[in-house]
């Protein structure tokens, strides 16, 4: 087994690009590419993998079926994190996350995934206009093709 930190280290080698796999209602898999990174859950302090998204299909799938797999790769090395997604966004309110706290959470997630920005006000404007949400994935299983001794 590989740890969540080791999986995230693989992701860090390729700009935290990750393939996200969700389950559609017809039981087929929907995938997309996002930047995802490790951070502490803002409510529990647990280590999670987080990303910001606005994809209506992905969010609808996660609302109905919150199981998700996040896969990082760098070269031929990969690591997958299976877990349960929690969405916090303008269409998925959470206690303690008013508009200001959501604005800051989206920034925290973005930077955890290696993001930087020259104009945070513009970033905040776009995130709000596109109704983007933060997705926090609590891992239930982490594995990879990494050889351990």
pLDDT one-digit tens code per residue, 7-60: 999 999 999 999 999 999 999 999 999 999 999 999 999 999 999 999 889 999
Q: Is the dihedral of CA 122, 51, 13, 75 positive or negative?
A: negative
Strand bridging mode 67-74 / 133-144: unpaired
Residues 6+ apart with CB under 8 A from 108: 39, 42, 50
**Token pair belonging to 78:** 């990969």
- Asked whether residue 149 carries a pLDDT value surpassing 70, the answer given is no
Q: What is the per-residue pLDDT for 94? A: 96
Domain map (residue ranges) of the chain: 4-144
Q: Which CATH number fits domain 4-144: 1.20.1250.20, 3.30.360.10, 2.30.110.10, 2.70.70.10?
A: 2.30.110.10
Confidence band, pLDDT 50/70/90 cuts, at residue 147: low
Rounded Cα distance between 44 and 54, Å, is 24
CA distance 51 to 17: 10
Q: What is the pLDDT of residues 95-139, one digit of tens each?
A: 999 999 999 999 999 999 999 999 999 999 999 999 999 999 999
pLDDT class of 148 with cuts at 50, 70, 90: low
């Amino acid at each position: 087994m590989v740890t969540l930190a080791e999986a995230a280290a693989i992701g860090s080698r390729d700009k935290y690009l990750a393939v996200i796999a969700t389950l559609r209602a017809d039981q087929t898999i929907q995938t997309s590419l996002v930047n995802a990174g490790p951070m502490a859950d803002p409510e529990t302090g647990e280590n999670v993998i987080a990303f910001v998204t606005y994809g209506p299909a992905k969010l609808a799938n996660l609302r109905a079926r919150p199981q998700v797999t996040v896969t990082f790769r760098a070269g031929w090395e990969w690591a997958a994190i299976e877990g349960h997604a929690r969405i916090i966004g303008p269409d998925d309110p959470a206690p303690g996350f008013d508009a200001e706290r959501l604005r800051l959470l989206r920034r925290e997630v973005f930077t955890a995934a290696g993001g930087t920005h020259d104009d945070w006000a513009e970033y905040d404007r776009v995130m709000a206009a596109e109704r983007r949400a933060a997705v926090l994935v609590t891992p239930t299983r982490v594995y990879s093709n990494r050889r351990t001794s």
